[in-house]
Amino acid sequence: MSVIHVNKENFEQLKKEQRPVLLDFYADWCGPCKMVAPIIEQIADERPDIAVAKVNVDDQPELAGAFGVFSIPTLVVMKDGEVVQKSAGARPKEAILELIDG
């Protein structure tokens, strides 16, 4: 699966996903975000059981604020439309998968 780029228009649809959702809050200028980006892409390719989405905090400040994002990258895992995990800072792939699989 490919990564979904989220905005406030398509976010409501994403909340209705039956599978877990991994949200990556990032900015194009953020160094740690650039380190995490290929890992997020890999997870999207390897795990069709997960909806993987990216939220650009500069373009979508309302969504970032709604999720209490104060530093980036911030990863949020949602199940059944509810936040079940949240982690700020760059993480290795294993730690991101642990967030998802809990």
Residue in this structure with the two tokens 């809050």, named with its chain if needed: 25
Catalytic residue list contains 20: no
Reading the chain (102 residues) residue by residue, the pLDDT tens digits are 689 999 988 988 888 888 999 999 999 999 999 999 999 999 999 999 999 999 999 999 999 999 999 999 999 999 998 999 999 999 999 999 999 998
The residue annotated as part of the active site, out of 4, 6, 23, 33, is 33
- CATH, residue 11: 3.40.30.10
Q: Could you give the number of structural domains in the chain?
A: 1
Q: How many CB atoms lie under 10 A from the CB of residue 27?
A: 16
Which residues, 6+ apart, have CB-to-CB distance to 95 below 8 Å?
87
The predicted pLDDT at position 28 comes to 96
The predicted pLDDT at position 12 comes to 87
The predicted pLDDT at position 102 comes to 81
Which residues, 6+ apart, have CB-to-CB distance to 27 below 8 Å?
33, 56, 57, 58, 72
pTM: 0.94
The predicted pLDDT at position 17 comes to 87
- Domain carrying residue 76: 4-101
Rounded Cα distance between 66 and 63, Å, is 5
Catalytic residue list contains 48: no
Q: Helix 31-46 crosses helix 93-101 at what angle (to 10 degrees)?
A: 60
The residue annotated as part of the active site, out of 4, 6, 23, 30, is 30
